[in-house]
Amino acid sequence: MTGKQSIHDRLDEILSDQSYLDASHDLARPTPECRIFTNRNLKLSRVRAVGFDLDYTLAQYRQEALDALVFSMTVEHLVKAKGYSESILDLNYDQQFGVRGLVIDIQFGHILKMDKFRYVSLAFHGLQKLPSQDRRDLYNQQRVTFSSERFRVVDTLFELVETYLFAALIQRLEDQGETLDYGTLFTDIRQTVDLKHRDHSMKRKIMESPQSYIERDPLLIPALYRFFRSGKRLFVVTNSEADYSQFVLDHLFRNADAYFSGWRECFELVCAESRKPSFFGQGKPWEVLEDSSCLVVRGGSLAQLEAKLGIPGDEILYVGDHIYGDILRSKRSSSWRTCMVVPELKSQIRIEAEIRPLIRELMRCEAIRKELAMDFHLHGNQVKLLYQFKDAESDDLANGDLARIDDKIAEINRKLEKNNRELSRVLFQSHQLRSKISSAFNPYWGRLFQTGGQLSAFAEQIRDYACIYTSSVSNFNFYSSQAYLQSNVTPMPHELDTHSAELDFDESLDAD
Ligand SMILES: [Mg+2]
């Protein structure tokens, strides 16, 4: 695409034998980290309207810069307004600690990673890993329940900084001998971060220097134009305030002249302050802020939006980054199709490719370990049988026979000793490889989408609620807006071929 097309250019293109459906001839092949992944089949040709969340969906923030800003503002406020020790002022932000899908146990001050069955596979207190036995004692008898006030799920990318702050403050203050009320600490952090959002101090900083905090994605506008050109109707539903939303949209569309005169041409409706997830339930009637080529409103509800569009829910695709507010609630409350934006996919896929040799080496070690364990079991049984035979038949056996049995037992024991040494070596190597692989993803939590040999709770939620998922909205640029996105059938364990099932492995940090 080189510029905005006239209707006659578009007509020529559609009539051309070279072009079919959505000018798919100009599609570049996406790299793995730019692919769209499908959980539930989706025909984009059937989608007549596409809605977008704004923060961390259309607008990708420079997370490290934004988190560092929130971190320093929050720490400063905690000292000045809430009486926390000045010793926390020199804390530095560690971007690696907080990841989505973690759960904060407010009662004990722990941070947890769960598998898809909601069992806790890893736990930290402060910045220290909780000993396995303590973790098991506390959590093995129960599943974590999201509805409980005691547990808070880290759902959004905005919450990563709070998660680290909670752990870092526990670490620093308990190291200094303070006894903490974890509930109060959590509330103080939550209220302060919330205040910095509400009093606009954070947004003011972003508005002063948007290029410092918002990523520039040159493929975003072409991706939106691809939808627009194919006749899909586009809208925005965001919880951000109207003035901030308009500022961010202005920023995103500042160099979009080749495609749109501005965001008001691209989107026919912008719902600001939408109060998702309640927007997907009752919501509240919207207040019209601007009635131009784009209707800008405050509030609203799913029913009001669907009525305005006049399009049935299953022909609407909603793209968002918040598993609960954007994806889960819209999926449960409506028939909207869902696309989850998961920016973390880029690094996860890149690391996966980089460490593939380590993964292969680990699989080889695991195959050897399983064979050695099988040998150990078989030879152990043979020795047991020989002893039983010798004891039972000793009266009837000649000395020469008994000596032959003893020789055989000694020979097997030598094999077992050798086998044991080899097993120890392989186990050590496996453990080292698991640690290396996990640390390559994240030194605290390992892989985002796996834990304890299972899918993580975060991965399972994406699989359950997002029809499709991808690292960025701009990835739609690589797909025809008429594409049929098809999922692969996930095999049951019994359907996996035996060989790959035997090589199944778990590189959890917590291998014990
Ligand atoms: Mg968002």
The DSSP string of 421-466 is: HHHHHHHHHHHHHHHHHHHHH-TTT--SSEETTEEBHHHHHHHHH-
Ligand 1 centre distance from Cα of residue 237 (Å): 10
320 CA distance to ligand 1 middle (Å): 6
Q: How far is the CA of 95 from the centre of ligand 1 (A)?
A: 19
Q: How far is the CA of 276 from the centre of ligand 1 (A)?
A: 10
57 CA from centroid of ligand 1 (Å): 6
In the reported structure, the alpha carbon of residue 55 is separated from the centroid of ligand 1 by a whole-number distance in angstroms of: 4
- Specify the pLDDT at position 357: 95
pTM: 0.84
pLDDT in the model for residue 504: 46
Pick from 476, 449, 479, 471: which is nearest to 215 by CA? 471
| Gap from CA of 138 to ligand 1 centroid (Å) | 33
How far is ligand 1, taken at its centre, from the CA of residue 124, in Å? 27
Question: How far apart are the CA of 206 and the centre of ligand 1, in A?
Answer: 16
CA–centroid distance, residue 491 to ligand 1 (Å): 32
Other CB atoms within 10 Å distance of the CB of residue 207: 15
Ligand 1 centroid – CA 188 distance (Å)? 23
User: What is the reported pLDDT for 25?
Assistant: 47
pLDDT string in tens for the chain (512-residue length): 444 556 666 556 555 444 444 444 456 788 999 999 999 999 999 999 999 999 999 999 999 999 999 999 999 999 999 999 999 999 999 999 999 999 999 999 999 999 999 899 999 999 999 999 999 999 987 777 767 889 999 989 999 999 999 999 999 999 999 999 999 999 999 999 999 888 888 899 999 999 999 998 999 999 999 999 999 999 999 999 999 999 999 999 998 999 999 999 999 999 999 999 889 888 889 999 999 899 999 999 999 999 999 999 999 999 999 877 777 766 677 789 999 999 999 999 999 999 999 999 999 999 999 999 999 899 999 999 999 998 998 888 888 989 999 999 999 999 999 999 999 999 999 999 989 999 999 999 999 999 988 899 999 999 989 999 999 999 999 999 999 999 988 788 787 755 454 444 444 444 34
Ligand 1 mean position, distance from CA 192 (Å) = 20
496 CA distance to ligand 1 centroid (A)? 37
- Ligand 1 center from residue 478 Cα (angstroms): 22
State in Å: Cα 272 to ligand 1 middle.
Answer: 12
Dist. CA 321 → ligand 1 center (Å): 5
Q: What is the pLDDT of residue 21?
A: 42
Residues 6+ positions from 24 with CB-CB distance below 8 Å: 480, 482
Angle between helices 399-441 and 345-354 (to 10 degrees): 140
Cβ partners under 8 Å of residue 455, min gap 6: 115, 116, 449, 463
Distance 239 CA to ligand 1 centre (A): 8
User: If you measure from the C-alpha of residue 472 to the centroid of ligand 1, how many angstroms do you get, rounded to a whole number?
Assistant: 12
Centre of ligand 1 to C-alpha 92, Å, is: 26
Coil vs helix vs strand at 219: coil
Residue type, 22: D
Please tell me the distance between residue 104's alpha carbon and the centre of ligand 1 in angstroms. Answer: 21
Take residue 163 and report the two structure tokens written for it: 């998660």
How many angstroms separate the alpha carbon of residue 323 from the centre of ligand 1?
A: 9
Centroid of ligand 1 to alpha carbon of 394 (angstroms):
78
Cα 225 to middle of ligand 1, angstroms: 21
Torsion on CA atoms 28, 32, 37, 41, rounded to nearest 10 = 50
Nearest in space to 325 (alpha carbons), one of 181, 451, 159: 159
77 CA from centroid of ligand 1 (Å): 25
CA of 288 to the centre of ligand 1 (A): 22
Contact 299, 289 (CB under 8 A): no
Rounded Cα–Cα distance for residues 164 and 169 (Å): 8
| Distance from Cα 155 to the centre of ligand 1, integer Å | 10
CA 258 to centroid of ligand 1, rounded, Å: 27
240 Cα to the center of ligand 1, angstroms = 9
> Where do the structural domains in the chain lie, given as residue ranges?
63-210, 355-447
User: How far away, in angstroms, is 270 Cα from ligand 1 center?
Assistant: 14
